[in-house]
A and B are shown apart, each in its own frame.
Chain A
Amino acid sequence: MRLGAGLGIKPQHFCDALAARDAGLWYEVHPENYLADGGPRRAWLRRLREEHPLSLHGVSLSLAGPDTPDAAHLQALAALTRELEPALVSEHLAWSRLNGVYLPDLLPVPRTRATLERLCANIGRVQDALGRAIAIEHPAHYLVLPHEMDEAEFLHEMVRASGCRLLIDVNNVYVGARNLGYDAAAWLDAIDGDAVAEVHLAGHSADPLLGERLLVDSHDCAVAEPVWALYTRLIARIGARPTLIERDGEVPELAGLLAERTRAQAVLDETEACA
C-alpha cells in the first residue's frame, strides 16, 4: 500500500482510527509511549498495525547530543521495530539527554562540523541497531546560534555521510523563518527532493508574551494557510511524499483531523495526477 497522508494518533482515537479506511491513510506514534514490557498499549499498537501502515517517530534519542543514544532505550526501540515492521522510522536533529538525565524537549545545537560528526555517528548507531535507514527531522528555530554551516548544506552533508533520509517539517520551516527572519520558500527550495522521505504538517501559535514576534511549534491547532501554501509548493517540486498531520494539544475528534488529512491527500493526489 502506498503511503499517502497520515495522522499522528492519540489514544482517545484508537477505536475510530482502527476502523478508518481512507485511501493512503497511515498512522504515526511516538515509540516512547509504547516501550512497555507488555500490556494494553503494546497490544493495541499491534492491532493497529494489522490494519494500517505505521510510522515510529522518536523524540528522545538525543542524536545531536554529546552522548551516544541510551543503550537500553535503543535496544527496546529495535525490538519494537522488529515487532511492528513500520513503514517509516524517524527521529530529530536535536538533543535531550545529558549525563544520564532526560530533558523532555528537542534542544538546539549550532550547525558545526563537530556537531555533524557526532550526529552522523549517532545516526549510524541507530541505523545499525534497527537494521534500516531512518529519517531525520530538522528543528524549528527559536534562537540565533553560532552556526558554521548553512542549514541545507548541513542536512545534505548529514544525509550523505550517514545514509539517512530527511523528514521535512514545513511548519518548522515556517516558524523558524518567521522567528529568525529568513525566507521559508527559499529554504525549502534548497532541499534536495531525492533525500526527502516524509513531510510533516502541524499548527503553530504565537507566544503568549511576545505575540507574533515569536511563533511556537505548538501542534495545538490546525495547519496554518501559509504552511499549506509552502507544502503545496514543495510537493509540486519534489513529488508526492508520505505526509503527516501532527496534533498534540487541543486534540479534536478524529473526524476533524481526518478532514485536515484529506486536504493533504488531495495535494498528493493532484501532484500524482499531473506527473
Chain B
Amino acid sequence: MSHFDYAGFAAALCGEGDAGGLAAQPGFAVYRNTVISGCVDALIANHPSLATLMGEAWLANCARAFARDNPSRDARLMLYGAGFAAFAGEMPGADAWPWLGQVGAIDYGWLQSHLAADAVPAAALATLAADMPLAPHPAARWFWSERWPLWQLWSSARAGQTPAHLHWQGEGILLSRPAGEVQACVVPQEVCVLLDALAAGQGLQQAVAVVLATVAAPDFTRLMQLLAGAGALVSYQE
C-alpha cells in the first residue's frame, strides 16, 4: 500500500467505516478510545465549574456530543472548548439551569486569562477625567448578568461546592492576573460596561460617558479602585 487512507482511518475513529478492515482489529479500539477521551477529558478539565454543577457523567456525555461536531483545530487542548459552555447550556437536562452557559463561559474566560500575554498594568487611576490611553489588560476577562448571580454561582462551583443560599441578583465577575496567577473578584455593572467600551476602542472619556448612559448611579470611586487593584488595564502609550 503506497497511499495510506488517512481519511478512512480518521472516519473509522468516529465509527464511520472500517478503515479497510483495520477497525476490525482489537487494537483499533485503543486509538478510538484515546482520541475520544482526549477530547472529553480536555473539555471537562477546562470547565471545572460545569463539572461541579452537573456532575462529570452528564458533562462527559455533553462533551462527546460537542466533540463530534466541534473537533479541536488546535493541538493545544488547554484551549479546547470555545463555545462548549453555550452548547452545554442548550443540552437536555440543562433547562432547569438557565445560567449554566454563562457560568461555563467564565471557566473558559479563566483559561484565556491564565494563558494571555504578559503586560505591565496601568498605574492606579487618579482620575477618570483625563483622556488617558487605556485598554483592558490582555489577561482581563469580565462577565455581567442582569439576572443571575454569576459570582456566587461560579466561585462556589469553582471551589467544588454546589451553590447554596444564593442571593438572586445580577452580578459581574472580573478575572485578571495582578500577581501572576488568575484572580477573580465580584464587580458591579459599571466595571463591565467601562471595560466593554475600552475593549471596543473607545477612549476613557467616551467609555465613562457610556457608563453614565447605561448604569444608574455608577460608583466611579469603587470602579477605579477595583480596576487598579485587579491590574485590569494597560496604558498603551506607556
B138 contacts A37, C-beta separation under 8 Å: yes
Interface mask (B9-50 → A, CB under 8 Å = 1, otherwise 0): 110010000000010011111110011001100100000000
Contact of A95 among B6, B26, B42 (CB under 8 A): B6
B118 contacts A32, C-beta separation under 8 Å: no
A207 contacts B30, C-beta separation under 8 Å: yes
- A70 to B78 CA separation, bound complex (whole angstroms): 17
B92 in the interface, Cβ–Cβ < 8 Å? no
Given contacts A35-B76, A104-B72, whether A214 and B30 have CB atoms under 8 Å apart is yes
Given contacts A101-B72, A105-B35, whether A32 and B77 have CB atoms under 8 Å apart is yes
Within 8 A of B (CB), among A175-222: 179, 207, 209-210, 213-214, 216
Given contacts A107-B9, A112-B2, A214-B30, whether A102 and B25 have CB atoms under 8 Å apart is no
Contact of A102 among B72, B116, B119 (CB under 8 A): B72
A114 contacts B3, C-beta separation under 8 Å: yes
* A213: nearest chain-B partner, CB-CB: B26
A12 in the interface, Cβ–Cβ < 8 Å? no
Given contacts A38-B117, A39-B115, A104-B35, whether A109 and B30 have CB atoms under 8 Å apart is no
Contacts of B73 in A (CB 8 A): 100-102
A39 contacts B1, C-beta separation under 8 Å: no
A1 in the interface, Cβ–Cβ < 8 Å? no
A103 contacts B71, C-beta separation under 8 Å: yes
B27 contacts A214, C-beta separation under 8 Å: yes
In the complex, identify which listed stretch (A143-151, A164-172, A233-241, A254-262) lies at the interface while the others stay far away: A143-151
- A107 to B76 CA separation, bound complex (whole angstroms): 17
* A97: nearest chain-B partner, CB-CB: B75
B74 in the interface, Cβ–Cβ < 8 Å? yes
- A59 to B42 CA separation, bound complex (whole angstroms): 15
A114 contacts B25, C-beta separation under 8 Å: no
Least CB distance, A83 to chain B, in whole angstroms: 13
B34 contacts A36, C-beta separation under 8 Å: no
Interface mask (B217-234 → A, CB under 8 Å = 1, otherwise 0): 000000000000000000
Count A/B pairs, Cβ under 8 Å: 120
* A112: nearest chain-B partner, CB-CB: B2
Given contacts A98-B7, A103-B71, A104-B39, whether A38 and B118 have CB atoms under 8 Å apart is yes
Contacts of A213 in B (CB 8 A): 26
B114 contacts A41, C-beta separation under 8 Å: yes
Contacts of B180 in A (CB 8 A): 40, 43
Least CB distance, A154 to chain B, in whole angstroms: 14
Least CB distance, A116 to chain B, in whole angstroms: 11
B177 in the interface, Cβ–Cβ < 8 Å? yes
* A100: nearest chain-B partner, CB-CB: B73
- A101 to B35 CA separation, bound complex (whole angstroms): 12
Interface mask (B148-177 → A, CB under 8 Å = 1, otherwise 0): 000000000000000000000000000001
B34 contacts A101, C-beta separation under 8 Å: no
Within 8 A of A (CB), among B117-155: 117-119, 138-139
A-B contact pairs, 10 of them (CB 8 A): A37-B118, A39-B139, A73-B74, A98-B10, A101-B10, A101-B73, A104-B38, A105-B31, A142-B27, A148-B1
* Interface residues of A, Cβ cutoff 8 Å to B: 32-33, 35-41, 43, 59-60, 65-66, 70, 73, 95-105, 107-110, 112-115, 141-146, 148, 179, 207, 209-210, 213-214, 216
